[in-house]
């Protein structure tokens, strides 16, 4: 039995095990401040929801628009979205790269390239579909290819009278 001088002001919640060390006792929604974002020049760089394709219908409409540009390592699909900003969707499945670390690296490289070309892609929904897994050795070539393919997506804007 604890005396009142030993009692904590902190009370365990229903989701916590009081026998665990206190460092493990966080609610499931609490994270470190930098989780889920890239740190550049001491500032977190996030990829907000408004810049992402989120729903299956959004992906389906881009694929059904049937405007695609191909490169040796990537395939890009595009469709005008009527918004002032571009949105990005990624199709990187487990079949392409078995390890989550590799898939996440590919996503980071593609998102960074999208951020750099954001002004050029305003008003377009873009889905990037890598043809093969790439790592750090091929990342520079993939960035160059993405810039070239993003430039070719302007034809999707012109063919919006489908």
Task: Encode pLDDT of 11-67 as tens digits.
Answer: 555 556 666 666 655 555 555 554 555 566 666 667 889 999 999 999 999 999 999
In percent, the amount of the chain with pLDDT more than 70 equals 70
To the nearest 5 percent, what fractions of the chain are helix, strand and coil? 35, 15, 50
Q: Distance (Å, rounded) from C-alpha 23 to C-alpha 42?
A: 26
pLDDT score recorded for residue 158: 75
With 70 as the cut, is the pLDDT of residue 110 above it? yes
Decide: residue 95, CB within 10 A, 0-12 exposed, 13-18 middle, 19+ buried: exposed
């Amino acid at each position: 039995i604890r005396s009142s001088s030993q009692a904590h002001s902190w009370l365990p919640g229903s989701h916590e095990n009081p026998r665990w060390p206190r460092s493990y006792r966080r609610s499931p929604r609490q994270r470190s401040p930098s989780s889920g974002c890239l740190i550049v020049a001491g500032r977190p760089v996030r990829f907000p929801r408004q810049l992402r394709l989120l729903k299956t219908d959004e992906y389906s409409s881009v694929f059904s628009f049937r405007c695609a540009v191909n490169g040796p390592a990537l395939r890009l699909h595009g469709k005008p979205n009527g918004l002032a900003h571009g949105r990005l969707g990624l199709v990187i499945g487990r079949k392409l790269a078995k390890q989550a670390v590799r898939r996440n690296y590919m996503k980071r490289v593609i998102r960074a390239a999208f951020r750099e070309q954001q002004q050029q892609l305003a008003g377009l929904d873009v889905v990037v579909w890598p043809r093969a897994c790439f790592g750090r050795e091929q990342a520079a070539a993939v960035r160059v290819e993405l810039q070239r393919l993003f430039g070719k997506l302007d034809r999707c804007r012109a063919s919006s009278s489908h």
